[in-house]
Chain A
């Protein structure tokens, strides 16, 4: 029963169901005489593997972009020998980290030292469960949707505290404590900003949130209805990812590298991977929550209508699905580009400024935003999801 509810992908009745790969795949396997459950069991790992690969490739691309854009910002060339324009550089980095010696400091707590990076990465990867690339193109349309991401991202500070403590190093401990404090402070305005969006779409599911933005293309995206919420969410997401200007937990001038100071080899790579997966994930979720997710700036239904095609035609469905994936990734990488540019142009804030910004500015602002959204929803139910 768990499996059934966990996997049930329920499309709302009003929107065209679009591609349903799972159903087609199961039907094909059942055609070979397999039972329904066996077909589901074979289907289960496929989207997970696909999303995992997508996440890792996304990280490789982001690392390459980071190196190239930072080089451009600083008027350098950046990596250029590994592959054309240095595209293979992140792969070489990864290989290097993979074969490096795995050092555990003598006085460190080796069990917690190993478990820490794992606890940082696992919640981030689990959160990809709810990232939709199309009407049915996600691992699982769980009902708690975006709330699952918020609660999973709150597990991360434990891993950071764990690795900070286990390193048996003052810089690491301070970095871990800072990371946890930062993460707790910025989670609250983040959750309140998400709540305003949820209130408008009457659902926590990421699919419903995107569907509610598909009416008239670019004009119905949430960014026009939630400009303040968008800014709050983006600032908090950057703080949660520990990106500059909020990278205090690993501020190299003060803390060497914060909680990662003692880490080397693959354990360090897990932190590195985790932070970049988190960045891509945050960008994807911003595009889902505020930029219409997989939606094309013009509704696909209109385009199909002008071309005289039925939305349910197989070819149109495939093109719609592909456009959806491209649009999601495009929007996400636009945001990743902005994040990278921010990183290489803004100075770091102090810890007291960081906490002041979170508690004294963003939190009240997010509360006001929530209140105004509720009022607008009551006043104009047509525009703000009655």
Chain B
């Protein structure tokens, strides 16, 4: 075995161990902050696996999107609502855990069988550094529609977030029908959404 090949094998083993153990930790740890940080570690290890497969652009994008954006936002949300409150114990917790564990074990068995029985075809040779150009070509030709649809989806999520966050700009509280206290709101005089009475 050459030096390059053995290095690759060692890297693969380490990265897979990080992915598997990290993912288990994300699910099983009771401290949600640890789970979130471990999720970041799992994302990084997956990026490492992409790098091993000669897909460096996908690896970098994985780090940028999943670690840099998704995971940071998850952490942000956790830390902004970092309430220390004791939750009421859920009845039948042991039974629930056993059931979900059984479902997971079944899924795992199914996937293992699929992995073992499928005749995996040898894919084409990895194109390495040319992948960036090829991904760009595909995104702007035959995958244009899914690409645009994904951005429309993101736009919808963004507008939804704005509506949820700025709902108090309405003149009247939609729940109770009372006049909302506009003095508390920044720039209350410029109506953003709806039915602002002229004052």
Q: Are B60 and A148 in contact (CB under 8 A)?
A: yes
Task: Name A23-48 residues within 8 Å CB distance of B.
Answer: 37-38, 40-41
Query: Does A14 touch B at the CB level, under 8 Å?
Result: no
**CA A147 to CA B131, docked complex, whole Å:** 14
Per-residue CB contact flags for chain A residues 297-334 toward chain B (1 = under 8 Å, else 0) read 00000000000000000000000000000000000000
List the interface of chain A (C-beta within 8 A of B): 1-5, 37-38, 40-41, 112, 142-144, 147-148, 150-152, 154-155, 157-158, 161-162, 164-165, 173, 176-177, 180-181, 184, 187, 204
Q: Assuming A154-B69, A177-B80, is B75 touching A2 (CB within 8 A)?
A: no
Measured CB to CB, the closest approach of chain A to B26, in angstroms, equals 15
Sample of 19 more A-B contacts, CB < 8 Å, known A147-B57, A147-B64, A154-B68: A1-B54, A2-B8, A4-B4, A40-B3, A112-B33, A143-B129, A143-B130, A155-B44, A155-B68, A157-B72, A158-B40, A158-B72, A161-B75, A161-B76, A162-B37, A173-B82, A176-B79, A177-B79, A204-B132
Chain A minimum-CB-distance residue to B63: A151
Q: Are B63 and A2 in contact (CB under 8 A)?
A: no
Q: Is the contact region of chain B dominated by helix, strand, or loop, or is it mixed?
A: helix
Per-residue CB contact flags for chain B residues 20-53 toward chain A (1 = under 8 Å, else 0) read 0000000000000100010010001000000110
How many Cβ-Cβ contacts under 8 Å join chain A to chain B?
Answer: 97
List the interface of chain B (C-beta within 8 A of A): 2-5, 7-8, 11, 33, 37, 40, 44, 51-52, 54, 56-57, 59-61, 63-64, 67-69, 71-72, 75-76, 79-80, 82, 128-132
Residues on A with C-beta less than 8 A from B63 are 151-152, 154-155
Q: Assuming A2-B8, A2-B11, is B72 touching A147 (CB within 8 A)?
A: no
**CA A32 to CA B63, docked complex, whole Å:** 42
23 contacts between A and B (CB under 8 A): A1-B4, A1-B5, A1-B8, A2-B52, A3-B8, A5-B56, A5-B129, A37-B3, A37-B4, A112-B33, A112-B37, A142-B129, A143-B130, A151-B68, A154-B64, A154-B67, A155-B63, A155-B67, A158-B37, A161-B76, A161-B79, A165-B79, A181-B76
**CA A165 to CA B37, docked complex, whole Å:** 11
Q: Assuming A1-B8, A3-B4, is B129 touching A161 (CB within 8 A)?
A: no
Residues on B with C-beta less than 8 A from A164 are 79
Contact of B60 among A1, A144, A177 (CB under 8 A): A144
Residues on B with C-beta less than 8 A from A154 are 63-64, 67-69, 72
Residues on B with C-beta less than 8 A from A112 are 33, 37
Measured CB to CB, the closest approach of chain B to A114, in angstroms, equals 13
Contact of A147 among B2, B60, B79, B128 (CB under 8 A): B60
Q: Assuming A158-B72, A177-B76, A177-B79, is B57 touching A144 (CB within 8 A)?
A: yes
Contact of A151 among B4, B52, B61 (CB under 8 A): B61
**Chain A to chain B: the 8 pairs with minimum beta-carbon distance, closest first:** A154-B68, A143-B129, A151-B64, A151-B63, A3-B4, A151-B60, A37-B3, A144-B60
**CA A150 to CA B60, docked complex, whole Å:** 9
Q: Are B60 and A180 in contact (CB under 8 A)?
A: no
Q: Are B69 and A184 in contact (CB under 8 A)?
A: yes
Residues on B with C-beta less than 8 A from A177 are 76, 79-80
Chain B minimum-CB-distance residue to A153: B68
**CA A157 to CA B79, docked complex, whole Å:** 13
Q: Are A157 and B57 in contact (CB under 8 A)?
A: no
Measured CB to CB, the closest approach of chain A to B134, in angstroms, equals 12
Residues on A with C-beta less than 8 A from B79 are 161, 164-165, 173, 176-177
Measured CB to CB, the closest approach of chain A to B137, in angstroms, equals 13
Measured CB to CB, the closest approach of chain A to B48, in angstroms, equals 10
Measured CB to CB, the closest approach of chain B to A235, in angstroms, equals 20
Residues on A with C-beta less than 8 A from B64 are 147, 150-151, 154
Q: Are A143 and B7 in contact (CB under 8 A)?
A: no
Contact of A2 among B51, B69, B72, B76 (CB under 8 A): B51
Residues on A with C-beta less than 8 A from B68 are 151, 154-155, 157, 184, 187
Chain B minimum-CB-distance residue to A116: B37
Q: Are B72 and A41 in contact (CB under 8 A)?
A: no
Residues on A with C-beta less than 8 A from B71 are 158
Q: Are B72 and A3 in contact (CB under 8 A)?
A: no
Most buried by A among B7, B59, B67, B129: B129
Q: Are A180 and B72 in contact (CB under 8 A)?
A: yes
Measured CB to CB, the closest approach of chain A to B16, in angstroms, equals 15
Chain B minimum-CB-distance residue to A10: B129
Measured CB to CB, the closest approach of chain B to A154, in angstroms, equals 2
Measured CB to CB, the closest approach of chain B to A29, in angstroms, equals 14
Residues on A with C-beta less than 8 A from B60 are 144, 147-148, 150-151
**CA A151 to CA B69, docked complex, whole Å:** 10
Q: Are A2 and B4 in contact (CB under 8 A)?
A: yes
Chain A minimum-CB-distance residue to B56: A144
**CA A40 to CA B3, docked complex, whole Å:** 10
